[in-house]
Amino acid sequence: MALRLFDTATRQVREFRPARSGTASLYVCGATVQGIPHIGHVRGALNYDVLRRWLVHKGLDVLLVRNVTDIDDKIITKAADAGRPWWEWAATHERAFEDAFTVLGCLPPSAAPRATGHITQMIELIQRLLDRGHAYAADGDVYFSVASFDDYGVLSNQRPDEVQQGESQAEGKRDPRDFTLWKGSKPGEPSWPTPWGSGRPGWHLECSAMATTYLGAEFDIHGGGVDLVFPHHENERAQSRAAGDGFARYWLHNAWVTLSGEKMSKSLGNVVSIPQMLQRCRPVELRFYLIQPHYRSTIEYSDEALSESAHGYRRIEQFLRRVSAQAGQVRVGSVPAEFAAALDDDLGTPQAFAVLHNTVRDGNAALDSADSAKALELAESVRAMVDILGVDPLSQRWAEHTGTEAEALGTLVEAMLAERTRARSDRDFARADAIRDQLTEAGIAVEDTPNGPQWTVRD
């Protein structure tokens, strides 16, 4: 089945056809490194990581570029408030974001360009727009002329005469709908020399320059959060196409993570940072939680939902370890057709997870009926699915991140439960009961279910 993706520009699901045979090119809007990352920031990176893994599974060579916005009004303001250089503030938080992406299992991007490293390309893009009559310079600033581009508003489905950029009305701006390509320098702010005066780039300009530098004038997919559709991505599209570039062939947008019905954001003060989250669960469990909903569906965060998701992951983990204990090494097999069909249908992770959980259920039933061969076959399918999702509990990737108290406890409890399962299979019920009593005394509640024994730490 061919992969189909929902394209924001056409507002329909389209068959994915890469521009170059055998290669898929993706540009994902990365972090504006103004502070510590929270789960709303990393959700999109995880969604596009799953897409990348699926494209690789389908035989494509994937080029994924995820930029870093390291110059921005908020970065400058927050650094000044903290009495720190803007570049040091940006570098510190860039490392925090990269650490978060890495600990949650994101594959490293093909390139992670910084905005400040591509000023030359931005200046060249501005000059192309000026030469084509789509931009104008005024009082040290340079603006894009929205009225000069007939296709403006297509991505966000807005009428050009109704848009509001959210920018202040400077004296040199001819039309309030126009947006800034280059900001004239202000005292105390970083700046770079240009033919139009010293200054720094506008946000929208940065991504157009970086995307085409690494992926070419036309590439396959541009991804980002739904909050970027307007004005950021609308303006990227306008300035790139006005300059003569085909730019992105497909536009994908992931939904928000909300808390109490509102988008997580630092300005609202309702964020749950990654370091805070990793005090509550293992990194792999957080990844599992954030990739399970459809990428275009909002996640309403709650501790209860995270806990339930973590228990679901542990059932998979326990099943694979039961099979390893009873039937030997579990290799990565083939994905079920239903799983592949789900991901081919606009990256339908909820349906894919349903296939995964059903396979685990059937595998546990095979173990309980002493059908080790069937259980091993199903476990190999499970490993294939969790490998694509980036949550394989038997992979070296997650074995490298053991060491927290929660992980150590989980390893010990699961080993004891595997021993208890073997004792019950051997009809050594006294030994099985003794193991359960040991766990109970240690504060571990065990429940025998159709999907195998499940455990929790008692309050």
Q: CA torsion sign, 283 to 287 to 290 to 295?
A: positive
pLDDT digits (tens, 9 = 90+) for 98-113: 999 999 999 999 999 9
**Confidence at residue 171, expressed as pLDDT on a 0 to 100 scale:** 83
**pLDDT (tens digit per residue) in 181-210:** 999 999 989 999 999 999 999 999 999 999
If one counts every other C-beta atom within 10 angstroms of the C-beta of residue 78, the result is 18
What are the residue ranges of helices labelled H in 345-404? 349-368, 372-389, 396-399
Pairing of strands 257-259, 299-300: parallel
Q: Which of 76-80, 261-265, 420-424 has the lowest mean pLDDT?
A: 261-265
Percent of the chain, pLDDT > 90?
78
- Gap between the Cα atoms of 320 and 379, Å rounded: 6
Closest CA to 213 of 312, 141, 354, 117: 117
Cα distance between residue 109 and residue 67, in whole Å: 9
Long-range Cβ pairs for the range 124-128 (8 Å, 24+): 124/209, 125/205, 125/208, 125/209, 125/212, 125/239, 125/243, 126/181, 126/182, 126/194, 126/196, 126/205, 127/195, 128/243, 128/244
Nearest to 452 by CA among 348, 356, 364: 364
Do 286 and 278 touch, CB atoms closer than 8 A? yes
Is residue 451 predicted with pLDDT exceeding 70?
no
Which range, of 157-161, 237-241, 372-376, 448-452, averages the lowest pLDDT? Answer: 448-452
Q: What percent of the chain has pLDDT over 70?
A: 93
Tens digits of residue pLDDT in 260-270: 676 766 655 55
Q: Across residues 63-77, what is the average pLDDT?
A: 96
Q: How confident is the model over 427-456, as a mean pLDDT?
A: 83
Q: Round to whole Å and give the CA distance between 356 and 383.
A: 9
The per-residue pLDDT for 268 is 54
CA distance 227 to 162: 18
Residue 266 confidence (pLDDT): 60
Complete edge-to-edge strand list for the sheet that includes strand 141-144: 135-138, 141-144, 179-184, 199-201
- pLDDT value at 61 more than 90: yes
The CA-atom distances, in angstroms, between 197 and each of 16, 91, 201, 202, 253 are 43, 26, 12, 14, 36
- Cα 101 to Cα 45, 98, 265: the distances in Å are 7, 5, 18
pLDDT (0 to 100) of residue 13: 98
Question: Binning pLDDT at 50, 70 and 90, where does residue 168 land?
Answer: confident
Which of residues 21 and 405 earns the better pLDDT score? 21
C-alpha 15/C-alpha 2 separation (Å) is 7
Going through 197-293 in order, the beta strands assigned E by DSSP cover: 199-201, 218-225, 247-254, 257-259, 262-263
Residue 100: partners with Cβ closer than 8 Å, 6 or more residues away: 37, 41, 42, 274
Q: Quote the CA–CA distance of 431 and 23 in Å, as a whole number.
A: 56
Q: Compute the average pLDDT of residues 126-154.
A: 97
Q: Residue 110 is encoded by which pair of tokens?
A: 């093909």
Residue intervals of the chain classified under CATH 3.40.50.620 are: 16-263
Whether 425 contacts 370, CB under 8 Å:
yes
Whether pLDDT at 403 is above 50: no
224: pLDDT strictly greater than 60? yes
The answer to whether the CB of 46 falls within 8 A of the CB of 291 is yes
Distance CA 259, CA 177 (A): 33
Cα–Cα nearest to 256, from 212, 223, 218, 225: 225
Which pLDDT does position 326 carry in this prediction? 84
Per-residue pLDDT, averaged over 362-384, amounts to 95
**Domain 16-263 bears CATH identifier 3.40.50.620:** yes
Angle at 168 between CA 163 and CA 173, to 5 degrees: 80
pLDDT at 459: 43
Amino acid found at 174: R
Return mean pLDDT, the chain: 92
Separation of alpha carbons 249 and 237, rounded Å: 10
Give phi and psi for 401, each to the nearest 5: -110, 40
Q: What H or E segment, with its residue span, contains residue 61?
A: strand 61-66
Residue 446's pLDDT band, with cuts at 50, 70 and 90, is confident
pLDDT at 312: 95
Could you read off the pLDDT of 228-246 as tens digits, one per residue? 999 999 999 999 999 999 9
Of 280 and 222, more confident: 222
By mean pLDDT, which of 91-95, 266-270, 429-433 is the weakest?
A: 266-270
Query: What per-residue string of b and e applies to 167-204 under the rule 16 or more CB within 10 Å gives b?
Result: beeeeebeeebbbbbbbbbeeebbbbebebeebbbbbb
Predicted confidence (pLDDT) at residue 146 exceeds the cutoff of 70: yes
Residues with Cβ within 8 Å of residue 171, at least 6 apart in sequence:
138, 139
Give the number of other Cβ atoms within 10 Å of residue 338's Cβ. 14
CA distance 459 to 447: 15
